Amino acid sequence: MKIAKLIIGFGIILAALGALFQFQGRGVVGPESSFMYHSKDWIYYGIAMIISGAMIVGLGVFVLLRARLRAK
């Protein structure tokens, strides 16, 4: 079950960073001097990271539930 929690944690961190990158690419957060500010590339990178993070969280939940079912 430890590995499942690590997988879920990694997915959450990845999705959170993706949200940050996406918002910075849109020009919502961050300094205007940043190379990521108002950059369409970083919007797409952020969205890809959010989707990847959600998939990793889903994998972690699957592993966690499977481990709990096997423990019974």
Instruction: Return the domain boundaries, the chain.
Output: 2-71
Rounded Cα distance, 36 and 59, in Å: 30
pLDDT of 37 higher than 80: yes
What pLDDT score was predicted for residue 30?
Answer: 87
pLDDT mean across residues, the chain: 95
At residue 46 the predicted structure's pLDDT band, cuts being 50, 70 and 90, is: very high
What pLDDT score was predicted for residue 71?
Answer: 85
